[in-house]
């Protein structure tokens, strides 16, 4: 199936190789950490927005949680279904753009991890409205007071890495904190030219955005896959973590 969504097309092509990425080896430790931090009751319902190949969803289901995984990529969801069948767990898989996701269900908790949706926009999209829509949809899907964990791209690391030439050539916009460039990525499937459009965030921006969409921030920590912890952000690390709750007021 053809698509105008660059990230949907990328993840469809990358799906068979996704679990070969090094960072996926830390799934069990990540699940242990998020359950410890979010204090999710046994048997609770969890929304995994941007679930990808389902690595977090499946491990949560194996521990008795009722999981709904949402992703834009049919290829990633096919991999997720196969892995869930192999693990003998039942999960509701939904193909949807996270910016357009709606549901009548109300979940006990939500996760949005490893740039499964948040921070990845397409040509012609407003990156801020893109991510605000995702947070609004997650907020709507949660019960009052429910916990939510997100990991996203670290704007401080990006600022420290770019050059003035990147700004002049249009590869990085310091006003919108966005990358817009063609990059050659080394992937498990081999080298691939990827049209990269990503929004990076500093902690104050994340705090403001979460507050504007009805969340109360509990923590902002370092959140790079494979190095989660209750710790300060490393300025040069890839990702940051936000732990929040749906506001009850």
Task: For residue 148, name the pLDDT band (cuts at 50, 70, 90).
Answer: very high
Q: What is the mean pLDDT of residues 26-32?
A: 96
The token duo for 41 is: 């009751």
Q: Where are the beta strands (DSSP E) in the chain?
A: 45-49, 66-71, 92-95, 109-112, 147-153, 172-173, 178-187, 190-199, 215-222, 239-246
Answer yes or no: pTM beyond 0.85.
yes
DSSP 3-state assignment of 78? helix
Helix orientation angle between 127-141 and 203-212, rounded to the nearest 10 degrees? 50
The reported pLDDT for the residue numbered 166 is: 94
Question: Domains along the chain?
Answer: 6-246 (3.40.50.150)
pLDDT tens digit string along 220-234?
999 999 999 999 999
């Amino acid at each position: 199936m053809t698509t105008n969504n660059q990230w949907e097309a990328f993840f469809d092509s990358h799906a068979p190789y996704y679990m070969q990425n090094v960072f996926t080896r830390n799934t069990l430790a990540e699940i242990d950490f998020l359950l410890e931090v979010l204090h999710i009751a046994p048997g609770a319902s969890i929304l995994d927005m941007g679930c990808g190949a389902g690595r977090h969803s499946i491990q949560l289901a194996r521990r008795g949680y009722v999981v709904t995984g949402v992703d834009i990529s049919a290829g990633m969801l096919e991999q997720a279904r196969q892995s869930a069948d192999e693990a003998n767990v039942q999960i509701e898989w939904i193909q949807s753009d996270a910016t357009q996701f709606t549901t009548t269900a109300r979940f006990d908790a939500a996760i949005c991890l490893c740039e499964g949706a948040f921070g990845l926009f397409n040509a012609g999209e407003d990156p801020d409205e893109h991510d605000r829509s995702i947070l609004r949809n997650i907020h709507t899907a949660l019960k009052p007071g429910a916990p939510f964990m997100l990991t996203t791209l670290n704007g401080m690391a990006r600022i420290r890495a770019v050059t003035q030439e990147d700004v002049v050539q249009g590869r990085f916009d310091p006003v919108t904190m966005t990358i817009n460039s063609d990059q050659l990525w080394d992937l498990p499937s081999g080298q691939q030219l990827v049209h990269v459009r990503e929004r990076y965030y500093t902690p104050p921006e994340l705090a403001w955005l979460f507050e504007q969409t009805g969340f109360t921030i509990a923590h902002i920590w370092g959140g790079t896959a494979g190095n989660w912890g209750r710790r300060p952000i490393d300025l040069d690390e890839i990702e940051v973590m936000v732990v929040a709750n749906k506001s009850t007021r």
